[in-house]
Amino acid sequence: MPLFLDLSHTSHTRARTGVQRVARSLRKALGEQALCVCFDPYERSWRPLSKAEELTLDSTAPAKGRGSSWSLAASLRGRMRRLRKKNDTLSALAPRDGGADGVLVPEIFSPGVARALPQLFAASPGPRVALFHDAIALQHPEFTPRGTVARFPAYLQELLQFDGIAAVSEASRRSLLDYWSWLGVSRVPEVAAIPLGLELPAAPTGPAPAGEPTILCVGSIEARKNHVGLLEACEALWARGLLFRLHLVGLAHAETGGPALARIASLKKAGRPLRYDGPADERALEEAYQGASFTVYPSLAEGFGLPVAESLARGRPCLCRFEGALGEIARGGGCMDLGEAGPNAIAAAVEELLVSPGKLAALSEAARSRKFRTWPDYAAELLPWMNSLGRHA
């Protein structure tokens, strides 16, 4: 039997930041095993996704923002369905052969979805599992939007109603268990570290183009990604006469991305060889990797670090921190440590690869020699673990 896959947020946004990429990739990997559903706040119940919502999931167009949105037509349809209902049964969700064999929630769910989860749980006799991405909102509130910081303690409490939590890294697993221990929670779900899969390129990425090198940085423009530190480092190197281009790809966060956007604008105005594309579709992203000599990911806090793994899977070395979840990815080779990732450390690492072709070649070879698992590989580990769980509450 299939399982319910909650895509309440991702089915209403074209954003392709980390969580949304995970949700979309998991849907694709599960295929017919997933019965994709969402909580309709206008209908006030769970339902299968509409054709329009499926199209949103399939869209490759870059998003202008990361928030979810409901059209007027969708809200009216939801209200009409609610008025026509005689009861709140969820039988329409389940296949005719007896229901869904579990519930899987890959998103960081909203309070409204949290309140509705018992309805979804009641429609399936199988285990209930949530993915856990990170505890950055608690560990680094200075980098996090205020609303997220305020919401997060309640979200971590709501995770206790699940039978299992699939953390995306060992660092994320440890942070969740440490928080629950600090709260004094005596009965917690089983928490397993199941690292994410990757969408590998259709064809191997070729060698970096000859000529002036391009350094690529892929990631949302927000405070914790440390773009300001990277830009200061690059400006110092440009001022000393080093020749290279910096290419930035990522959706800007309205609340915490302002300082980086201002710095980008000032450097471009000064004529520095800096390109910022904003969010990119998958084709444009592959072209960016193809044109890069290496990548830099100066993030100060991560739950997993997809851009690091994706860079290595394309044979491009990556400069990143070796702490936490990023260290879990980096230790397999192809990376160079940024230490605390201050501007001086970033500048020193970038310069070393720019002026040391041998070092760059060795890291490139190490990256090409690595093997990364795909999303089907991830699903093949997740599902048996999920099926091994019992219902605990």
Domain contains 207: no
Exposed, middle or buried: residue 205 (CB in 10 Å: 0-12, 13-18, 19+)?
A: middle
Q: Stretch 92-108: mean pLDDT, rounded?
A: 73
Closest to 21 measured CA to CA, from 105, 107, 103: 107
Q: Stretch 334-339: mean pLDDT, rounded?
A: 97
Domain with 332, as residue range(s), is: 214-368
Domain contains 206: no
If asked whether residues 18 and 154 sit together in one domain, one would say yes
Strand 34-40 relative to strand 45-48: parallel, antiparallel, unpaired? antiparallel
Could you give phi then psi for residue 275, rounded to 5 degrees? -125, 125
pLDDT at 271: 97
Q: Stretch 165-193: mean pLDDT, rounded?
A: 96
If asked whether residues 229 and 306 sit together in one domain, one would say yes
Domain contains 204: no
Q: How far apart are CA 133 and CA 156, in angstroms?
A: 11
Q: Stretch 299-322: mean pLDDT, rounded?
A: 96
Q: How far apart are CA 311 and CA 3, in angstroms?
A: 32
If asked whether residues 120 and 137 sit together in one domain, one would say yes
CATH (domain of 310): 3.40.50.2000
Phi/psi region, residue 211 (left: phi>0; alpha: psi -120 to 50; beta: rest), is left
Could you give phi then psi for residue 374, rounded to 5 degrees? -90, 175
If asked whether residues 382 and 268 sit together in one domain, one would say no
pLDDT at 89: 46
**Domains: count for the chain:** 2
Q: How far apart are CA 309 and CA 21, in angstroms?
A: 14
CATH (domain of 58): 3.40.50
* 318 close to 311: Cβ distance less than 8 angstroms: yes
pLDDT of 91 > 60? The answer is no
Both tokens of 49, joined, read 């996704």
Buried b (16+ CB within 10 A) or exposed e, 143-180: bbbeebbebbeebbebbeebbbbbbbbbbbbebbeebb
pLDDT at 17: 79
Q: How far apart are CA 291 and CA 277, in angstroms?
A: 14
If asked whether residues 288 and 236 sit together in one domain, one would say yes
Three-class SS of residue 252? strand
pLDDT at 120: 94
CA angle (17, 78, 73) in 5-degree steps: 75
Exposed, middle or buried: residue 371 (CB in 10 Å: 0-12, 13-18, 19+)?
A: exposed
pLDDT tens across 43-65, in order?
Answer: 999 999 999 999 988 887 765 66
What percent of the chain lies above the pLDDT cut of 90? 75
